[in-house]
Amino acid sequence: MNILITGGAGFIGSHLCRKLLDRGNSVICADNFITGAKENIREFLDNSGFKLIEHDISTPFYIEENLDWVMHFASIASPKDYLSHPIKTLKSGLLGTHNCLGLAKAKKAKFFLASTSEIYGDPLIHPQPEEYWGNVSCTGPRSCYDESKRAAESLTCAYMRQHNLDVRVVRIFNTFGPRMRINDGRVVSNFIIQALEQEDLTVYGKGTQTRSFCYVDDLTKGIVKMMEISRELPLNLGNPCEYKVIDLAETIIKLTGSRSKIKFLPLPEDDPKRRRPDISKARKILDWQPQVSLEEGLAKTIEYFKEKLQNGEKS
């Protein structure tokens, strides 16, 4: 198959490129390198099945090649980044999704949208099943990400209904692993770098807010399974084990053997208090569930960041 992955040089996008190339597909990666990195795709550049196009997907996009899939993974996805680039974030969710849908329609390709657990906002229902409509502020600081992804889902469904496009929507919960950016400001990367550099770990609020962390290999396996089934909208993919942020901090201190302590900082505005996916649907339809435990995944991620720091990359 010929597959276009937007955001293919990003954290999740590059793992997906690897998985789809390994399965014998041709992959075209489109990325504007705002948060993606050449380093993430360097290993594929010599692969004859891989092509890189440097392009900002929020501007019109057309390619000559036939396509079987358009997979829209381009997005500024970390709170630190989307809070500093709210307009670019909205544009990739709104215009980028529209451009990708138009391309999929023109190529008679299937369309795959990377959506997010953020569409549930600060959820009032726990854990979050796909049927839950969410609790989202449409004007708050996180709205650039949440609302553009909600609109992206809506656009995707509109193309499905009006043009009978074959679409998939995955709602991705917190994911971690190698190729996360050293300074993307997310909790896992922040804590690991702080621990490795013997700095205090910055826990926001009291650290009682929860998240559920999925190792990236588990996630991409689920995404590939979603490509193999017939349409089922939307699907949560994530790890259902829920941790308090403070417990994550302590686990990372233990795993790195660090002398770091914990430092409490103010909780950001609209920070969701609890988040855990209900993955009953993915279990049933895809026969999928995460296999990698938090500690196992963290150990691999710690090794990755250790190497980055040894190579002189700075946080």
- The residues that are catalytic are 145
Q: Which is nearer to ligand UDP, 26 or 75 (CB)?
A: 75
Q: Is there binding between residue 212 and ligand UDP (CB under 6 A)?
A: no
- In 3D space, the residue among 40, 114, 118, 126 whose CA is nearest the CA of residue 83 turns out to be 118
Q: Which is nearer to ligand UDP, 122 or 217 (CB)?
A: 122
Q: Is there binding between residue 187 and ligand UDP (CB under 6 A)?
A: yes
Q: Which listed range, 86-94, 197-205, 218-226, 254-262, lies at the site for ligand UDP (CB under 6 A)? A: 197-205
Q: Which is nearer to ligand UDP, 245 or 292 (CB)?
A: 245
Contact 113, 152 (CB under 8 A): yes
Give residue 169's identity as a one-letter amino acid code: V
User: What's the min distance (Å) between Cβ of 75 and ligand UDP?
Assistant: 12
Task: Kindly tell me which residue out of 58, 89, 128, 190 binds ligand UDP, with binding defined by CB under 6 A.
Answer: 190
Q: Which is nearer to ligand UDP, 17 or 248 (CB)?
A: 248
User: What's the min distance (Å) between Cβ of 26 and ligand UDP?
Assistant: 33
Cβ contacts of residue 186 below 8 Å, gap of 6+?
78, 79, 80, 176, 180
User: What's the min distance (Å) between Cβ of 173 and ligand UDP?
Assistant: 8
Contact 194, 250 (CB under 8 A): no
Task: Kindly tell me which residue out of 26, 75, 209, 212 binds ligand UDP, with binding defined by CB under 6 A.
Answer: 209
Q: Is there binding between residue 264 and ligand UDP (CB under 6 A)?
A: no
Angle between helices 86-107 and 143-163 (to 10 degrees): 20
The separation between CA 4 and the C-alpha centre of its own chain, rounded to angstroms, equals 17
Count of other CB atoms within 10 angstroms of residue 35: 22
Q: What are the structure tokens assigned to 20, written together?
A: 């789809």
Task: Kindly tell me which residue out of 91, 98, 107, 211 binds ligand UDP, with binding defined by CB under 6 A.
Answer: 211
Cβ contacts of residue 293 below 8 Å, gap of 6+?
241
Q: Is there binding between residue 195 and ligand UDP (CB under 6 A)?
A: no
Give residue 117's identity as a one-letter amino acid code: S
Q: Is there binding between residue 241 and ligand UDP (CB under 6 A)?
A: no
Task: Kindly tell me which residue out of 186, 221, 274, 308 binds ligand UDP, with binding defined by CB under 6 A.
Answer: 186
Q: Is there binding between residue 219 and ligand UDP (CB under 6 A)?
A: no
Q: Which is nearer to ligand UDP, 124 or 229 (CB)?
A: 124
Chain position carrying tokens 């609020």 = 205
The alpha-helical segments, DSSP class H, found in the chain are 11-22, 38-41, 79-84, 86-107, 143-163, 187-196, 216-228, 245-256, 280-286, 294-310
Q: Is there binding between residue 74 and ligand UDP (CB under 6 A)?
A: no
The DSSP call for residue 128 is B
Residues in the site for ligand UDP, rule: CB under 6 A?
79, 174, 186-187, 190, 202-204, 209, 211, 245, 268, 271
